[in-house]
Amino acid sequence: MEKINIPEMFGSLVFNDKVMRARLADDIYASLKKTIDENVRLEDTVADAVAEEMKNWAIENGATHFTHWFQPLTGVTAEKHDSFITPSPDGGVIMEFSGKELIKGEPDASSFPSGGLRATFEARGYTAWDPTSFAFIKDHTLCIPTAFCSYSGEALDKKTPLLRSMQAINREAKRILKLFGTDASYVKTSVGAEQEYFLVDQEMWNRRPDLKYTGRTLFGAMPPKGQEMDDHYFGVIKPRVSEFMEDLNQELWKLGILAKTEHNEVAPAQHELAPIFTTTNVATDSNQLTMEIMKKVAKRHGLVCLLHEKPFAGVNGSGKHNNWSITTDTGINLLSPGETPYENAQFLLFLCAVIQAVDDYQDLLRLSVATAGNDHRLGGDEAPPAIISIFLGEELTEILEAIKNDVPYKGKEEVNIKLGVHALPRFFRDTTDRNRTSPFAFTGNKFEFRSLGSANSIACCNIMLNAAVAESLHQYADELEGAENFENALHELIKRVIKEHERILFDGNGYGEEWVKEAERRGLSNLKTTADAMPKLLDEKNVQMLIRHKVFTEAEVHSRCEIMLENYVKTVNIEGLTMVDMVRKNYLPAIERYLYRLSQTVVLMRQVSENVKCKYEVSTMERLSELTDYIMDSVMELEEKLVVLKSIDDVFKSSAYVRDEMLPSMDKLRKYVDEAEMLTSQRDWPFPSYGQLLFSVN
């Protein structure tokens, strides 16, 4: 077996800092670094020099084309490839790439969603290089991470508002740090996005139209065994999956993606990959690449990678945990407590900023993870509830309680855990346990936002989180900058924030029905579906905050709301059409064939003896015949509702219709078909079963 040199492999297809430092002239490198670190405008001469070396490096590594790689509002990435070739006077070609081509591209913008920002016939759009995210080579193409905007300047992507939100939190955090005498050139947010996914056999997937068209199974009865034994979680990784993971790691490492941890998840056929933290916009790019490469690598191994949040009913769905922290250029983690958290006023103020942000803008955080797929997952005993709350753990909760009541905090000593085995080392227990039911949990020096669905772009939630925390810090800076006595004002501010926002703190079981009632008593929102959550984006407080910090314009806010609701409606519409297609063309004919065989069996058996009761055959026929009537009535009902949905031209009304009418009808149809599956011979059933799908990979 060939030995892998990981340090040599890592980042080998990335035009990273190491490559730039080696290939660029000192003054060019220094100018580019200033642009990256301090958001200073890049001079044209510097851009030309960078472009020349970037082209040379790319060609040396097998690239023939370049593309501006961007993230439109479709939820996936986009790219238009141009070759490096330019005609030469002698009839040949030369390889050229200019600074102008590096900095700006012009893709056709007419096919991408704009939410009313522009007419569909207006095609001009621009991509602008994001120098803070390194260029890379993928499939013999130099990919240049870019922002994407319209001819009139509106953001048509997810990266632009993300970069704006990072600027907002940088600006406001530096104001706070200045008050504490902490010197920082810039403050950035960092993210580590844990990615869950399913792997199924490609041959099985090819035989499931619902998986192919929608990413999830719209029908399927549970097998005798699911995840009840908890034997899959952290279990031995199966050889075929292990080979996939090894291949995936190598592809990711070449692209400089910090893939670190891999393991089986709770459900059969479910797995997870976790990276090391990196700057938020880079982490966003990396996660989009990770999802794309997962799918490509899976196909090499005869597998299909499912990133839908709920591909199988009855077992856990897949999420994406967004681990978020704030750090300075000097390496200080602003969410990391000092020697004693109680004495660490700077930490406590930043902690309060997050608490207030999550409370004030819980609706924005909820809608940032709202999709038709994630609606199936949130609120089940597998994922956080739709109610947004914060888990701080016992120690921090007690500290805040002490501050609120102006009483001393006695502290919590580390407890030494004795394992009773002399050969094993002793170690200290953390002072706080973890709460897997919480959507927003503090885990020592970061917050883990657990509500994202596996297919979500992490840009959306980080835009809202950055902006909301920037707003808290903005308010604190305004108040503290004019204080006569900084320490007294700081103490009173922290105490007030705790009192005003303690309703968002919850350390208990987020899965319990009691919490739903308690959250309602506290006045917390419970936005169960995308149709409930997304319109909240247009609430005046949300619009004004996002505009104030220049994260979105008002037009961009309205466009995002329309696009996300439209996507919700389109997703469920495709699912409804797929259900009708599968029932009419496959399920009903299959049940009919089985009924015919049963009836023929009864006739033949009774010809042999009139005393034969045929109890199994007759009872099965009676129930299946009844179910076919229910299925037929339900599919006709669904067809009628699909027609009505098509006639509704208001996206708010159509999304409400999907929630209130379409989804209940689809659930009813599925229930009858799934029962019929349990009564029909496997030989006659037209599609692979759940058991075959979930346990097909070994």
Q: What is the pLDDT of residue 587?
A: 98
How many percent of the chain have pLDDT more than 90? Answer: 66
pTM of the model: 0.92
Among left, alpha and beta (phi > 0; psi -120 to 50; other), residue 328 is beta
CA distance 527 to 377: 13
Q: Where are the alpha helices (DSSP H) in 216-279?
A: 239-254
pLDDT tens digit string along 419-445? Answer: 344 444 443 445 555 566 789 999 888
Which helix (H) or strand (E) covers residue 56, if one does? helix 44-60
> CA 423, 428, 432, 435: dihedral to nearest 10 degrees?
-20
Mean pLDDT of 611-620: 91
CA nearest to 623, candidates 594, 600, 603: 594
pLDDT at 417: 39
- HEC per residue, 467-508: HHHHHHHHHHHHHHHCCCCHHHHHHHHHHHHHHHHHHHECCC
The per-residue pLDDT for 19 is 95
3-state secondary structure of 656: helix
Q: Which residue, 259, 240, 212, is CA-closest to 301? A: 240
Residues 173, 165 contacting (CB under 8 angstroms):
no
Instruction: Look up tokens 């300075």; give the residue.
Output: 328
Q: Which of 460, 464, 678, 422 is nearest to 567 (CA)?
A: 460
Each residue of 117-141: pLDDT tens digit? 655 555 567 888 898 899 999 999 9
| Torsion sign, CA atoms 638, 639, 642, 643 | negative
Dihedral angle, C-alpha 151, 157, 160, 161, nearest 10 °: 120
Any residues with CB less than 8 A from the CB of 14 and at least 6 apart, and which?
Answer: 134, 135, 136, 137, 254, 255, 256
Per-residue model confidence (pLDDT) at position 420: 44
Q: Nearest-5° angle of CA 554, CA 367, CA 358?
A: 95
Please give the structure tokens belonging to residue 355: 């608490």
- Rg for the chain, CA atoms, rounded: 28
Which helix (H) or strand (E) segment holds residue 147: the answer is: strand 141-150
Give the residue carrying structure tokens 């089940």.
380
Q: Residue 506 — φ and ψ, nearest 5°?
A: -150, 120
| pLDDT tens, residue by residue, 75-123 | 788 888 888 877 767 666 567 788 888 888 877 666 676 666 655 555 5
The number of beta carbons lying within 10 Å of the beta carbon of residue 373 is 25
- What are the distances in angstroms from CA 127 to CA 15, 151, 193? 19, 10, 26
- Which pLDDT tens digit goes with each residue over 148-165? 888 777 888 999 999 999
The Cβ of residue 462 has, within 10 Å, a number of other Cβ atoms equal to 28
Which run of H or E residues covers position 671? helix 663-679
State the average pLDDT over residues 551-560: 95
Grade residue 266 by pLDDT with cuts at 50, 70 and 90: confident
Task: Tell me the pLDDT tens digit for each residue of 415-424.
Answer: 443 434 444 4
SS3 335: coil
Coil, strand or helix at 108: strand
| DSSP reduced 3-state for 234 | coil
Q: Say if residues 279 and 229 touch (Cβ distance below 8 Å).
A: no
Other beta carbons within 10 angstroms of residue 569's beta carbon come to 24
Express each pLDDT in 333-376 by its tens digit: 999 886 655 458 898 999 999 999 999 999 999 999 999 999 99
Q: How many CB atoms lie within 10 A of CB 688?
A: 22
Mean pLDDT of the region 461-476? 98
Res 425: pLDDT = 47
Least confident interval from 234-243, 326-335, 422-431: 422-431
For 19, other C-beta atoms within 10 Å of its C-beta total 17
Q: pLDDT of 390-405, one tens digit each?
A: 999 888 888 888 888 8
Contacts of 256 (CB under 8 A, 6+ apart): 10, 11, 13, 14, 16, 134, 136, 286
Look up residue 521 and give its two tokens: 């008593």
Residue 421's pLDDT is what? 42
Q: For 502-530, what is each residue's pLDDT tens digit?
A: 999 999 888 888 999 999 999 999 999 99
Comparison of pLDDT for 394 and 666, the residue scoring more: 666
Whether the Cβ atoms of residue 547 and residue 554 lie closer than 8 Å to each other: yes
Stretch 288-292: mean pLDDT: 96
CB 192 within 8 A of CB 282: no
Residue for token pair 């390889």: 95
Helix (H, G, I), strand (E, B) or coil at 522: helix
